[in-house]
Amino acid sequence: MSILKKVEQFREEEERLRWEGTFADYLELLKEKPWIAQTAHSRVYNMIKDAGVEEVNGKKEYSFFKDQLYGVEESLEKLVEEYFHSAAKRLDVRKRILLLMGPVSGGKSTLVTMLKRGLEQYSKTDKGAVFAIKGCPMHEDPLHLIPTHLRKDFQDEYGIKIEGNLSPLNMMRVEEEYGGRIEDVLVERIFFSEDKRTGIGTFSPSDPKSQDIADLTGSIDFSTIAEYGSESDPRAYRFDGELNKANRGMMEFQEMLKCDEKFLWHLLSLTQEGNFKAGRFALISADELIVAHTNESEYKSFISNKKNEALHSRIIVMKVPYNLKVSEEERIYKKMIQDSDLAHVHIAPHALKVAAIFTILTRLKEPAKQGVDLLKKMRLYDGESVEGFNSQDLEELKQEDPDEGMSGIDPRYVINRISSAIIRKQLTSINALDVLRSIKEGLSEHASISKEDRERYMDFIAVARKEYDAIAKKEVQKAFVYSYDESAKTLMDNYLDNVEAYCNKNKLRDPLTGEEMTPDEKLMRSIEEQIGISENAKKAFREEILIRISAYARKGKKFDYNSHERLREAIQKKLFADLKDIVKITTSTKTPDESQLKKVNEVIARLIDEHGYNSVSANELLRYVGSLLNR
């Protein structure tokens, strides 16, 4: 379908959604669809909830944020449940400014942008429909037309609570245009749009000496004073400030804590009482979500100033830390690369993972828990199983330092270093070593990194390099194994037969001779030693395997090569250990013979077809692993 046809369809859809009628018609509509009278906070919460909520390991994950924000599920759950859900229930938190606090490139702006774009789309749905008094520059709630003394009766009849008073402009219009007959006042459906300044506003402070409070609350239109005779006539006032235009939706307050005090005091009344002062009028009601964002140092400076105590008590702070999961960090890099001009460059497998390992290490705090180092902590955070530790240990680690994730290397720095390596060296393929080298070179140029942190980060690059060495060896050794899955399955079946006989104190029968044999202790230990199972721990490990097999059988599931992560790792290492000498000779020979060359070509083909390499990165990987094995 052509783009012009799609534009036409979009226009037709918007026209179909339009609605206009009298206030009396609106009340009839309200009986059918009472949810259209929801508050701004309620609308945001329902927008997030309606997109889908999934419970994973006891934690809520929201589809609304799924493809944009990674690794901050716990922060998002706290934000949605503790702020939006409570505010939607009209609890006191809705009378607070939402302040997102976190490090640079941590996702604060992305989160706010998602809420704004989401509201624009949600206002076009049936559940997110918004109705306003027609011709009102503030898109005022039609229910404000109900006189105060009748609101209790209205609540009894409709089950809807009305908050806020009719604005000065609409009060005058009701009298002059409609002769006081509120039932005849025209109401229309509106659609939120930041570009059209409908229900979504953005305020960004500029020079405090030149910025006018009118940017927030509107201003007098001096050209009309002669016509209307007074500055207190609402027709002589432009209700075009960000607070006016964001009514019924949300306003983003950029760099709020850098703003002049006179701007911030206007927010006190708005948050606590739901109104603000503008011109020579009574307080003007507004129903909107105020979202601001800042970094930790600015926030600490703000709360240390005693003059800000009143505003501080009206702010609810939600931390948006860096992601602390390697796998999620890798997804962040992939997304940033896809959105950039680097999408055509071949990035070798594990290059982004190794960069993510380095980055996550810079964000983690040294664990206080005995027996845990940073690498183990990193693996536990990423959902990997670490011997001797369970989910309870993971929760304890997370509770150790509330500021974890508020510092470290940001994802933008890593992408900048990848870009630098590609552009400077004119590369069309980049591997993990290229990425680590570029990150290392950039640290000396990073102005905001202290000497102490720089030295620490250099150590993390060395750790990430060791992790890559292990990954690279495993990748090549895996590619060398002919019919890898079949070999692994055969070895595992053999091991399981011996374990079952050992645990049940039975004998095995030789498939060829039919003779009875004792379980092959040498075979079992050769596999178990690959993952550090000690002589004392072997019995418990074997019994655990047998229990797992029984559990699978009860559920009617087949226990296979991927059913036990640690056993799979042991089988892999055993296979690789048996092939190490073949790999070493084949990858390091400068003039390979015909059989060796054939093997190398088979491995390269497998790396390309099954592991995501291209010919350049596959050859680089083989050369590198050859050098590692010859050290």
Is the pLDDT at 299 greater than 90, yes or no?
A: no
Average pLDDT, stretch 78-103?
Answer: 90
Contact yes or no for 501/508 (Cβ under 8 A): yes
- Is-contact 116 200, C-beta < 8 A? yes
pLDDT digits (tens, 9 = 90+) for 488-536: 888 888 899 999 999 988 888 877 677 888 889 999 999 999 889 999 9
Task: Tell me whether residue 204 is in a domain.
Answer: yes
pLDDT for 482: 62
Residue 95 scores a pLDDT above 90: no
> Residue 610 falls within a domain, yes or no?
no
In a domain, 589, yes or no: no
Give the model confidence (pLDDT) of 497-506 as tens digits: 999 999 988 8
Evaluate if pTM is beyond 0.85. no
Q: Which of 447, 464, 481 is the last residue of a domain?
A: 464
Residue 18 has pLDDT above 90, yes or no: yes
pLDDT of residue 40: 94
Q: What is the pLDDT of residues 326-381, one digit of tens each?
A: 999 999 999 988 888 777 889 999 999 999 999 999 999 998 888 888 999 999 99
Asked if 226 and 364 sit in the same domain, the reply is no
Under the banding of pLDDT at 50, 70 and 90, the label for residue 207 is: low
Residue 360 CA neighbour count, 13 Å, CB half: 28
Q: Please tell me what DSSP assigns to residue 323.
A: P
Extract the runs of DSSP E, i.e. beta strands, from 405-478.
Answer: 429-430
Give me the pLDDT at residue 483, please. Answer: 54
Q: How confident is the model at residue 388 (pLDDT cuts 50, 70, 90)?
A: confident
Query: Would the CA dihedral through 368, 371, 372, 373 be positive or negative?
Result: positive
User: For position 42, what pLDDT does the model report?
Assistant: 95
Considering 256-265, 379-388, 593-602, the range whose residues carry the highest mean pLDDT is: 379-388
Residues 69 and 101 in one domain: yes
Q: What is the pLDDT of residues 454-473, one digit of tens each?
A: 999 999 999 999 999 999 98
Selection from 96-105, 255-264, 559-568 with the highest mean pLDDT = 96-105
Residue 471 vs residue 279, higher pLDDT: 471
332 shares a domain with 311: no
Euclidean distance between CA atoms 339 and 336, whole angstroms: 5
Mark whether 312 and 348 lie in a shared domain. Answer: no
DSSP for residue 199: S
Count how many Cα atoms sit within 13 Å of the Cα of residue 180 in the half-sphere of its side chain.
Answer: 1
**Cα dihedral sign for 279, 280, 285, 291?**
positive
Confidence of residue 217 (pLDDT cuts 50, 70, 90): confident
pLDDT at 210 over 70: no
Q: Mark whether 62 and 189 lie in a shared domain.
A: yes
Please provide the average confidence, as pLDDT, over all residues in the chain. 87
Range of the domain at 212: 20-319
Domain stops at, among 319, 334, 357: 319
- Of the chain, the percentage scoring pLDDT greater than 90 comes to 47
Q: Is residue 483 one of the residues assigned to a domain? A: no
The pLDDT value recorded for residue 365 is: 92
Q: Do 454 and 397 belong together in one domain? A: yes
Residue 258 or residue 365, greater confidence: 365
- 49, 176: one domain: yes
The domain that holds 101 is classified in CATH as 3.40.50.300
Q: Three-state SS for 518?
A: coil
Q: Is residue 288 one of the residues assigned to a domain?
A: yes
37-57 pLDDT tens trace: 999 999 999 999 999 999 887
User: Which residue pairs from 174-182 have beta carbons closer than 8 angstroms and sit at least 24 positions apart in sequence?
Assistant: 174/145, 182/23, 182/145, 182/146
Residues 202 and 225 in one domain: yes
pLDDT of residue 12: 87
Residue 158 and residue 34 in contact, taking contact as beta carbons nearer than 8 Å: yes
Residue 61 has pLDDT above 70, yes or no: yes
* Number of domain units in the chain: 3
Mean pLDDT within 248-272: 80
Does some domain include residue 13? Answer: no
Long-range contacts formed by 492-499: CB under 8 A, 24+ apart: 492/561, 492/567, 492/571, 494/520, 494/523, 495/523, 495/524, 495/527, 495/567, 495/571, 496/545, 496/549, 496/559, 498/523, 498/524, 499/524, 499/542, 499/545, 499/546
User: Does the residue 334 lie in any domain?
Assistant: yes
What is the predicted pLDDT for the residue at 278? 79
Residue 283 has pLDDT above 70, yes or no: yes
**3-state secondary structure (DSSP) of residue 498:** helix
* 178 and 193 part of one domain: yes
SS3 for 11-36 is HHHHHHHCCEEEHHHHHHHHHHCHHH
Q: Assess whether 516 and 547 both reside in one domain.
A: yes
- Domain boundary among the residues 319, 339, 373 is at 319
Q: Which of 85-89, 370-374, 436-440, 573-577 has the lowest mean pLDDT?
A: 573-577
217 and 279 together in one domain:
yes
Q: What is the Cα–Cα distance from 140 to 170, expressed in whole angstroms?
A: 9
> Residues 599-618: pLDDT tens digits?
788 888 989 998 899 999 99
Q: Tokens 């060829």 appear where?
A: 512
Residue 211: the pLDDT is 67
Q: Residue 631: what pLDDT?
A: 67
Q: How far apart are CA 382 and CA 71, in angstroms?
A: 9
Indicate whether 419 belongs to any domain: yes
Q: Which pLDDT value is given to residue 209?
A: 62
Quick: pLDDT tens for 117-144: 999 999 999 999 999 999 999 999 999 9
140 and 281 belong to one structural domain: yes
Residue 235 in this model has a pLDDT that exceeds 90: no
